[in-house]
Amino acid sequence: MGCVQSSGREEAAGKVEEPPKAYSWDRKDKVDPADFTLEGLRGEEAGRVPGSINGQQFIIQNCQSSHIFLLDHINTITIDDCSDCTIFIGPTTGSVFVRDCQECVVVGACGQFRTRDCCRLEVYLLCQTQPIIEASSKMKFGCFQAFYPQLKDHFSKASLSVFNNNWSNVYDFTPVDGETNWSTITQPSALPHAFPLPRSQLLASVGLSVEEESSVVPYTLGSPQYHGQEAALVILFHDNDQHHKATAFIAALRSQVVNCRIQHSREVKMEAVDAVRVFQGSEHKAAVSQGPVIALLCLGTGVHQACTTLARDMGAYVTPDSSIGLRQIDSFFSYASMSMTM
């Protein structure tokens, strides 16, 4: 008997075709650039609510006399050719780049901030590195202050520290001899007066506030020298409750010292050799090895005694009320400035 052979046609009929392979890059949601662009607004209010940007890049361009609110965390953002606008920018991991804009108020938190060819901007900023202006004039910089319920989480998702604010250390890339292209705003009341809150039902429902008292970011005075005032540098060492302790410390200190202000806040990683130089001894080498420290430079009458009392319960370090303490303050911020380079 001969062998029974099936025809090619029969084999094809019985064969089950395998589904095409699916790769991770094929499964990504398609991004529509229009969802992450605001363009050509004229006298309008527009923006995005939490969850609608979710770490994407964003573009704002060619807008006039409009109020813009980006209430989410962002990757990077460019703002081009805008005039007479107020713009709120949620925590941005990378850069905020503002070009060819004038007569705008910008509130934002970012890793890097830069302007080019801008004039008469008020910028209320949290910046992890040194802000840069280029070919820009009549610029004013103040400290970021804002709250909405998701903002703290957005800072975390953007990998930004609310205590690492370099807002007043502006670098002018194109200085003009005999002129100053930028100045600082050191009154917390300035931002609420300059920045109107959302009025549309959708954006207003997010609950944005720009008052100092509710701000997620501590209000700091920035660059002016503290010498001649009573000062205490408080350093909180790393643990799982560090951020909460720092926030609670500021609140308690302000309740005890009426005229208390925070000059600078920093969150930086210290090496053992840096700790020895700053603390002028080796007793804190082990503590700094656990992770970044949070430093608060506090000013006000009676502030040193208040800081010392509060620090006992938190295991924090307070610089001595002496010339040694002043040297430690200078040494710490010299190190911190080098750690926050561009």
Residue 90 known to bind ligand: no
Distance CA 167, CA 334 (A): 16
- What pTM was estimated for this model as a whole? 0.87
Output DSSP code: residue 55.
T
Q: What is the pLDDT of residue 342?
A: 43
| Superfamily for domain range 231-339 | Nucleoside diphosphate kinase-like domain (3.30.70.141)
Q: 142-200 pLDDT, tens per residue?
A: 999 999 999 999 999 999 999 999 999 999 999 999 889 999 999 999 999 999 999 99
Residue 94 known to bind ligand: yes
Whether the per-residue pLDDT at 274 is higher than 90: the answer is no
CA 241 to chain CA centroid, Å, is 20
- Cβ neighbours of 222 (radius 10 Å): 21
Strand (E) or helix (H) holding 10: helix 8-14
For residue 322, give every residue at least 6 positions away whose Cβ sits within 8 Å of its Cβ, in sequence order, or none. none
Distance CA 261, CA 25 (A): 50
For CATH 3.30.70.141, the residue range(s) in the chain are 231-339
Mean pLDDT is highest, among 203-217, 225-239, 286-300, for 203-217
Nearest Cα residue to 280 out of 233, 242, 225: 233
If one looks up domain 33-211 in CATH, what number appears?
2.160.20.70
Whether the per-residue pLDDT at 6 is higher than 60: the answer is no
Tokens of 334: 């010299």
Nearest Cα residue to 74 out of 87, 58, 98: 58
Tokens of 12: 């094809």
Rounded to the nearest 10°, the torsion over CA 89, 93, 97, 101 is 0
Distance CA 130, CA 111 (A): 9
Q: 312-331 pLDDT, tens per residue?
A: 988 899 999 888 888 889 88
Distance CA 164, CA 5 (A): 77
- Site of tokens 């662009």: 37
Nearest Cα residue to 264 out of 181, 338, 155, 169: 169
For CATH 2.160.20.70, the residue range(s) in the chain are 33-211
Provide the residue type at 172 as one letter: D
Nearest Cα residue to 118 out of 87, 86, 79: 79
